[in-house]
Structure 1
Amino acid sequence: MAFLEISGLKKRYGALDILKGIDLELEKGGFLVLVGPSGCGKSTLLNTIAGLEAISEGDIRVDGRSIAGLHPSKRDIAMVFQSYALYPNMTVAGNIAFGMEMRGVPAEERKKAIDEVAKVLQISHLLDRKPSQLSGGQRQRVAMGRALVRDPKLFLFDEPLSNLDAKLRVDMRTEIKRLHARMKTTIVYVTHDQIEAMTLATKIAVLKDGVLQQFGSPAEIYNNPANMFVADFMGSPAMNLLSGTIEKGNTGLSVSLARADGEPIRLPIAAGREQLEAHAGRAIVFGIRPEALTDPDGADRNAKTVAENDCLIEVVEPAGSDTFAVIKLGGKEVVARLRADARIQAGQHARLAFNLDKAVFFDPQSQMRIA
């Protein structure tokens, strides 16, 4: 049985629907990341779990027990906010201990709990400082310590790293992942950063306009996107989505992609995509990740269907460990991810390898995945 169950959850403000029937399940010790663009409803969903927002329809169950009508203080849930929400007049130790003090936990027990959490978060040397004397990353650790010390059933994180600079975000991401692995806590985490989602999650829920677009493991979301929105939103650089046509010939199915500087490119479709036969002669959207479009020497040696073509390189972007190249196909700019030492130049043709095992196909009208 799932530890966290959200079923048919709806949230309305008057006539405005914010959440439109969310169904999710998370195992005990899992790490669920709610991701999507601003205004998609992810923070509202988190607030309904916390009890800060009442739900309009549906149910939320934690460890087999419905919490939908419970006051936030009765839910045994701890929340870490984007703003840290520390008391400026209290020391770090005071901030961590405040909740326990309010619940009447004895002083000796409080001190033991503070010391244990401070050791885990590596903030033992900061216990006598005030929040104004701490860096952003240290404040975030204190906010996490205040949640951890309660030992709740469920932890909620609302964009906890968005106020940090880029390097510190990466460092704190690693800390949170290490903490989760060590403590086996159950976490629901909100972010608009899809890299953060891919890095931290055991399960990802992608939302758009209050509708759950896809729910699955990071690998499922990345490799098998349910629709064009998920394909475009998850991944950096994003998946290339190109207009094409399915063609059926003597050798099987292929996809034809127009290009401005010559005849269309025709790419064979990997075996096992028989459902595309019904779309022969029709327009589709062909999706391929930048890493599946590379220089021939960098192509995946385990791939069963790889096609090579000469393409006009329009832009070259060295990025240290990789080189990104921009070409035009299907009327769109396409990003290829090449090895750092790939010898290519803008304005010249270069041989590129398409890993068709990794290609996906979408219906241009419904935007849903076909194969």
Structure 2
Amino acid sequence: MAFLKIDNLRKSFGKVDVLKGIDLEIEEGGFLVLVGPSGCGKSTLLNTIAGLEPITSGSISINGKVVNDLHPSQRDIAMVFQSYALYPNMTVAENIGFGMEIRGVPKAERDAAIAKVAETLQIGALLNRKPSQLSGGQRQRVAMGRALVRDPMVFLFDEPLSNLDAKLRVDMRTEIKRLHQRMGTTIVYVTHDQIEAMTLATKIAVLKDGVLQQFGTPAEIYNTPNNLFVADFMGSPSMNLIPAKVKASGGDVAIMMERDEGEPLALPFAGANGALAGRDGQDVVFGIRPEALTDPDSADRNARHVSELDCDIEVIEPAGSDTFAVTRLGGREIVARLRADAPISAGQTARLAFNLDKALLFDPETEARIV
């Protein structure tokens, strides 16, 4: 049974539809990440779960109970905001315990809860400091501590790491993951950062313009995106999406892509399971992730279908553990991920291996995945 269930949820501001029939379910102890570009409705969806925004229609259930009409204080949720929202005149301990004090929790019980949370978040040495004396990462830990001390049924995080620098974001991401594994509480987390979504989530909901584009595990979202938007949005670097045509001859199917010079490239496309029947000569979009396009020595030895092609390398981007090579196919720049010491340089022709087991095809009109 779903612990948090969102059923056909719609939210409008006047005549503007912000959320358009959202259906989501997450099990108890799950980590649901709402991801999408700015303005897609993810923070509005989080606010409706919190009760900070009334919904237009649909329902929200927590632990089997419909909470549409419940005040935020009655929903047994705790929220961590992007801005930390700490009281500047209070110490860390006072900030963490303020909610309990308002509810009349005895001081001894408050102090014990504060100490436990401080130990969990490793901020025991900061309890007597004011927020102005803390770093960004420390302030975020305090904001998390204020939520944790509530011991709610659901935690809500609204882009909690967006104000941190790149290294601290990675560190805090690990801390949040560790915290979830230790506590096992249900979390709904909003971010526009798809790397955060992939690393933290047990389930991801990808939103665009208030419409749920795909809901699934990180592996499902990454490996079998429903459409071109999800394919392009999830992944860094993003999936290579190349205009192509289907060429079917007998039982064989190939994908044809134009090159700036020379004959078009033909890649055999096995395992379509009849999905391309009747599409001979039709336009498609060929999708392949950078890691499935690499130097032959780095190609997956377990792959069943690998094709090699000589490509003109335009740009080389060393990235420490990897090297990214930029070439062109179908009039588009495409990125290959090579091993760090791959002997390739800009301006030369290099042989690249296409792992076609990982390739996908999309319909350019509907943008839906074909296979």
TM-score (norm 1): 0.99
- Structure 1 residues 323-353: Cα deviation after superposition (integer angstroms, max 9, x where no partner): 1011110110000001111111211111100
Q: Secondary structure at the match of 1:353?
A: strand
Match of 1:189 in 2: 189
Q: Give, in whole Å, the separation in 2 of the partners of 1:323 and 1:34.
A: 31
Q: How many residues are paired up?
A: 371
Identity %: 73
- Structure 1 residues 205-250: Cα deviation after superposition (integer angstroms, max 9, x where no partner): 0000000000000000000000000000000000000000011125
The one-letter code of the counterpart of 1:72 is P
- Structure 1 residues 25-83: Cα deviation after superposition (integer angstroms, max 9, x where no partner): 00000000000000000000000000000000000000000001111111000000000
For 1:126-141, list aligned pairs within 5 A: 126-141=126-141
Q: Secondary structure at the match of 2:169?
A: helix
Q: Secondary structure at the match of 2:140?
A: helix
User: Would you say 1:257 and 2:257 are equivalent positions?
Assistant: yes
Q: Give, in whole Å, the separation in 2 of the partners of 1:332 and 1:282.
A: 19
Match of 2:76 in 1: 76
Q: Give, in whole Å, the separation in 2 of the partners of 1:274 and 1:24.
A: 31
Q: Give, in whole Å, the separation in 2 of the partners of 1:276 and 1:356.
A: 15
Q: Give, in whole Å, the separation in 1 of the partners of 2:35 and 2:273.
A: 30
Q: Give, in whole Å, the separation in 2 of the partners of 1:8 and 1:302.
A: 42
Match of 1:244 in 2: 244
Match of 1:326 in 2: 326
Match of 1:12 in 2: 12
Q: Give, in whole Å, the separation in 1 of the partners of 2:364 and 2:3.
A: 38
- Structure 1 residues 101-148: Cα deviation after superposition (integer angstroms, max 9, x where no partner): 011111111011001000000000000000000000000000000000
Match of 1:285 in 2: 285
Match of 2:305 in 1: 305
Q: Secondary structure at the match of 2:278?
A: helix
Shift of 1:251: 6.0
Unaligned runs of 5+ in 1: none
Match of 1:36 in 2: 36
User: Which 10-residue stretch deviates more, 270-279 or 232-241?
Assistant: 270-279
The one-letter code of the counterpart of 1:156 is L
Match of 1:357 in 2: 357
Shift of 1:277: 2.1
The one-letter code of the counterpart of 1:331 is G
| Alpha carbons of structure 1 residues 345 and 254: separation in structure 2 relative to 1, 3 Å | same
CA root-mean-square deviation:
0.7
For 1:1-371, list aligned pairs within 5 A: 1-250=1-250, 252-371=252-371
Q: Secondary structure at the match of 2:58?
A: strand
Q: Secondary structure at the match of 1:278?
A: coil
Contact 1:253 1:277 in 2 (8 A): no
The one-letter code of the counterpart of 2:204 is I
User: Which 10-residue stretch deviates more, 232-241 or 268-277?
Assistant: 268-277
Q: Give, in whole Å, the separation in 1 of the partners of 2:30 and 2:359.
A: 30
Contact 1:35 1:194 in 2 (8 A): yes
User: Which 10-residue stretch deviates more, 359-368 or 272-281?
Assistant: 272-281
Q: Give, in whole Å, the separation in 2 of the partners of 1:274 and 1:322.
A: 36
Q: Give, in whole Å, the separation in 2 of the partners of 1:139 and 1:320.
A: 32
User: Which 10-residue stretch deviates more, 30-39 or 272-281?
Assistant: 272-281
Q: Give, in whole Å, the separation in 1 of the partners of 2:314 and 2:124.
A: 54
The one-letter code of the counterpart of 1:313 is I
Shift of 1:280: 1.6
Q: Give, in whole Å, the separation in 1 of the partners of 2:279 and 2:131.
A: 61
Shift of 1:289: 0.2
The one-letter code of the counterpart of 2:284 is I
TM-score (norm 2): 0.99
The one-letter code of the counterpart of 1:126 is L
